[in-house]
Structure 1
Amino acid sequence: MLAFLILVTVALASSHHAEDFEGNKVFRVSVEDENHMTLMHELASISELDFWKPDSVAQIKPHTTVDFRVKAEDVLTVEDFLEHNELHYEVLINNLRSAMDAQFDSHSRAAGHSYTKYNNWETIEAWTKEIAAQNPSLISRSVIGTTFEGRSMYLLKVGKASSNKPAVFIDCGFHAREWISPAFCQWFVKEAVRTYGQEAQMTKLLDKLDFYVLPVFNVDGYVYSWTKSRMWRKTRSSRTGSSCRGVDPNRNFKAGWCETGASKDPCSDTYCGPTAESEKETKALTNFIQKNLSSIKAYLTVHSYSQLLLYPYSYSYKLPSNNAELNSVVKAAANELASLYGTKYKYGPGASTIYLAAGGSDDWAYDQGIKYSFTFELRDTGRYGFLLPESQIQATSEETLLAVKYIANYVLEHLY
């Protein structure tokens, strides 16, 4: 009994350091014109807002909605400001703490790894080892680098062994709080091995292509989002001269680095880093892709939320040379995705479809010569935001898989 009490006390003490988010609210504000934009900048300067969509106040555009989280102590100030300035708003999440608890609504009570639950890093790490060991003819596991805090970045190569195969690279978990993203990467690997030899399309894809799957890119941030702060986004690197930690990895690539839609402030959620590729994680990814550039024909990076399928460019309004082709591919992929549950995705080039954001991995990959480079923003459109319930993991993954298979099949038929 005493041991049990000690355990409970220790658990309570350790969880006490984690941010609890009680009474935090998530607002959605309609921004109609320049005046509304100015007011949002003013609000952001007087209250600490955690921007969910877009990623920062700098990316707000007229005729859009803005989603942001407000700490409990600032809720009244924010509500007063919005009402006083006659800004139309709604409360998407009334109490973030309750929404965080409600995320874990899966009926799978598996103690270990589950494809319909959110798995912590230790569980995912063990799973990468296990699934590779169980499927030696289809999966091999390697480490492409280590994170700032010294964790391994595991990469699964999925496909029937054969030399000189073209490849599709898929990464998940760039932003720590986007938990549905790593859940999809795990689902993809499971479905690949489960349906190989059973389902014609997957069998063909694995016979003719390799899939490089990086289940969690930003491992340190992901761990931190489980243990300390559920809403953490960035990496966990530290630098002299600032007490603020982390870099937004999707602003850290050499693709118009830090020119637009990124911040030079280390405390910002969209901090681009002291230099391009300053992060060990970014460097590991770029090194691997550059080493395998001759075989990698497509790059897919999976984020959440918004239900979008984007292609370059995000760092400027210029269009890629194969714009018409990419647009027809994402249109068809979005139709495939919608065919299962009717989930509607918007699609198009990043900058005009959502906002300008420099230093993204998809733009970088495209500029390396990878013609088919896409960003997925998975479910939902804001009702749950980053706290998509576990009960939606399966449906989200199933529909996303259809789009990924469509793209992979297209790439296979249009090799270059």
Structure 2
Amino acid sequence: MKLLLLFGLVAVALADVTRFEDKVFRLKPSLDAHVTLIKDLAQNIELQLDFWSPDSDALVTIDIDVDIHVPARYLDMVYTTLAQSGMEYRILIQDVQSAVDGQADGGPSPRAHSYTKYNTWSEIEAWINSIASSNPSLVSKQVIGNTYEGRSMTLLKSTKPAIFMDCGIHAREWISPAFCQWFVKEQALATYGSDSEMTNLLNNMDVYVLPVFNVDGYVFTHTNNRMWRKTRSKKSGSSCIGADPNRNFDAGWCIGASSNPCSDTFCGHTPESEIEAKNVADFIRKNKSAIKSYITVHSYSQLLLFPYSYSYNLAADHSELPAAGGSDDWAYDLGIKYSYTFELRDTGYYGFLLPESQIKPTCEETMLAVKYIAAYVQKNLY
């Protein structure tokens, strides 16, 4: 057995850090007119509304909760517009900057990597190297490509049937990379030999783990803008940066996404235009005969999703899939039958700003589902 880690390297220059004297609203559209209003607000480029859930106005319908992050300078206008519409709403986060500052649990800051803290990329990089060097029988490395800003994406090779897991496709979803790190050490290496389920899994299958898919974006959330979501790619002739890597796979490409390069859900200029998505897609294509399950970890809303998201049609194996999104749909279409998207905590109280105190319980509850899926895949390999 080898546990397979994928990761990226290199540092980035610091710039001004964005502060958020803003609020997060939860809207409750109950009329078609409410849905139209939300879509109109989204199309107002000056407003710069940040959709937290769902992540695009294209997905807004009657009777769902719609969480939006509103810049401070437009709060009065949004309050007035909502009052005139009669739409029900409440404030989820009164002060976004206070929530950003409050993510740390208040304990002493560790000087090195911690499984119950949100680690910077340099800390994760050092952790990856340490894990690999201290567990040579379980971990080996192979570079599969570079990010747009030149960071290496490295993994471990496998010849046995495998599970592929990635975290951190969307840069601001910090709980996602935290789970991948937890899985590698606390639930894979630390319990190997003592946890019968995990030991059986790792004796019979390999697991490829990409702790941070969107490394450039993740670094940017630590150095510049905590709310950054996309990659950091640039295209000549456009002042807008990056694309949504989870809308960049060739599975119903650009359905439920935006063709506007400035949008947070921009699908890219072409399928796999983002080098990070292409590197992962190339690796999975080359190893699809070995990869039996694909798991991608996101936040937030506490859901387990399965194909299809780009179509209302049921997947051929719908009856076997326990509980819909870009990369999992693509993996399923490629022939990886057991493809899932996890949306971790919470359901909106903290949103993307989940406190560090919730890392451990989030990881523990998610492991129960991952282990169940892994056991089912292993049982049904042939």
Q: What's the TM-score, normalizing by structure 2?
A: 0.93
How far did residue 33 of structure 1 move?
A: 2.4
1:182/1:215 contact within 8 Å kept: yes
CA distance in structure 2 between the aligned counterparts of 1:120 and 1:370, rounded to whole angstroms = 32
The answer to whether residue 338 in structure 2 is matched with residue 372 in structure 1 is yes
For 1:149-188, what aligned pairs fall within 5 Å after superposition?
A: 149-156=149-156, 164-188=159-183
> 2:9 maps to what in 1?
none
CA distance in structure 2 between the aligned counterparts of 1:238 and 1:324, rounded to whole angstroms = 42
The answer to whether residue 206 in structure 2 is matched with residue 205 in structure 1 is no
What amino acid does structure 2 have at the position aligned with 1:33?
Answer: L
2:299/2:345 contact within 8 Å kept: yes
2:243/2:264 contact within 8 Å kept: yes
CA distance in structure 2 between the aligned counterparts of 1:399 and 1:295, rounded to whole angstroms = 28
For 1:266-277, what aligned pairs fall within 5 Å after superposition?
A: 266-277=261-272
2:41 to 29, 38, 43: 43
The answer to whether residue 204 in structure 2 is matched with residue 238 in structure 1 is no
1:25/1:69 contact within 8 Å kept: yes
The answer to whether residue 249 in structure 2 is matched with residue 253 in structure 1 is yes
In structure 1, the gaps of 5 or more residues are 1-13, 158-162, 331-347, 351-356
Matched length = 367
1:43/1:81 contact within 8 Å kept: no
CA distance in structure 2 between the aligned counterparts of 1:251 and 1:15, rounded to whole angstroms = 28
> 1:341 maps to what in 2?
none
> 2:109 maps to what in 1?
109
CA distance in structure 1 between the aligned counterparts of 2:14 and 2:125, rounded to whole angstroms = 22
> 2:8 maps to what in 1?
none
1:141-200 per-position Cα deviation (integer Å, ceiling 9, x unaligned): 22221000001123356xxxxx84110000000000000000000000012000001111
1:36-81 per-position Cα deviation (integer Å, ceiling 9, x unaligned): 1011122234432100001111110111010010111111111111
How far did residue 106 of structure 1 move?
A: 5.4
CA root-mean-square deviation: 1.4
Q: What's the TM-score, normalizing by structure 1?
A: 0.86
1:211-252 per-position Cα deviation (integer Å, ceiling 9, x unaligned): 000000000000111111100000000001210000100000
CA distance in structure 2 between the aligned counterparts of 1:379 and 1:205, rounded to whole angstroms = 26
1:154/1:215 contact within 8 Å kept: no
What amino acid does structure 2 have at the position aligned with 1:387?
Answer: L
The answer to whether residue 26 in structure 2 is matched with residue 28 in structure 1 is yes
In structure 2, the gaps of 5 or more residues are 1-12
> 1:6 maps to what in 2?
none
Q: Percent identity?
A: 60
How far did residue 313 of structure 1 move?
A: 0.4
The answer to whether residue 161 in structure 2 is matched with residue 195 in structure 1 is no
For 1:17-166, what aligned pairs fall within 5 Å after superposition?
A: 17-21=16-20, 23-46=21-44, 47-105=47-105, 107=107, 109-156=109-156, 164-166=159-161
2:30/2:87 contact within 8 Å kept: no
> 2:327 maps to what in 1?
361
CA distance in structure 1 between the aligned counterparts of 2:31 and 2:366, rounded to whole angstroms = 34
What amino acid does structure 1 have at the position aligned with 2:337?
Answer: K
How far did residue 388 of structure 1 move?
A: 0.3
1:226 to 219, 222, 229: 222
CA distance in structure 1 between the aligned counterparts of 2:31 and 2:379, rounded to whole angstroms = 45
2:15/2:223 contact within 8 Å kept: no
1:249-297 per-position Cα deviation (integer Å, ceiling 9, x unaligned): 0000011111x21111100111111110101101100111011111100
CA distance in structure 2 between the aligned counterparts of 1:49 and 1:405, rounded to whole angstroms = 38
| SS of residue in 2 equivalent to 1:301 | strand
CA distance in structure 2 between the aligned counterparts of 1:324 and 1:75, rounded to whole angstroms = 46
* Distance change >3 Å, CA 262–CA 325, structure 1 → 2: same
